[in-house]
Copies of this chain bind each other. A is one copy, B any other.
């Protein structure tokens, strides 16, 4: 119980240094086992899950706050991050409910009546992430995007809207490699596309996919090949940063 009081003090201290009516929620996407994953946190002393999120320091740029929050949860400093929507339903959040979920007395609630939340989604390399809990949570781990449980507040809506935004952006921009290691094969990239677009394995034609991707002109084929697997060993590719920069400038 004493520990709880300390935590409560820590939360209050952070909260007092932050904007009170605004928060950030992040939908962190990773790719593993040919599945799209989302990072979720379990609220302290409860079995309710939620998205990673946090507050914005009073002097902090909104986007900096999002990067900071993501660094705290994933350990990663360099991340593909995209603001996609701001959620402002007047009943989306409830300070007393947070207190209760944290096992704290609701009548001592110091959160505001209401908070609006800015939604970001992030694409990260799964294997580099070291999920870390925060003051308000006991557990942080990946969930399959198709098996997301019921989340606190409006977090299910935020997550599904993030996925929708991700799919839309995938249709118009080349982003898939943000979910992969530095070096990857084209078939690995194809799996990412198929998964995100909701297709089954092989749903995209191999030949056409490779032509399209290589047609962008910013992938560099390495002399290395991926070994270890059975059958013909595929080439490894990586992004050529200069050419990718040029591509982005042309398409923006």
Contact = CB atoms under 8 A, between A and B. Distances in A.
Contacts of A22: 21-22, 116
B89 A86 contact: no
Interface in A54-96: 56, 58-63, 65, 83, 85-90
Interface residues of A, number: 24
A56 B88 contact: yes
Given A20-B21, A85-B83, A86-B83, A62 B116 contact: yes
A88 B113 contact: no
Interface string A35-65: 0000000000000000000001011111101
A105 B172 CA distance: 50
A64 to B, nearest CB: 8
Interface string A9-30: 0000000000111100000000
Nearest to A20: B21
Contact of A88 (B61, B87, B90): B61
- Copies of this chain, count: 2
The A interface, classified by DSSP as helix, strand, loop or mixed, is: mixed
A221 interface: no
A225 interface: no
B114 A90 contact: no
A211 B83 CA distance: 36
Nearest to A86: B86
B90 A60 contact: yes
A62 B83 contact: no
Contacts of A90: 59-62
A159 interface: no
A87 B61 CA distance: 9
A118 interface: yes
Contacts of A19: 21, 114, 116
Contacts of A20: 21
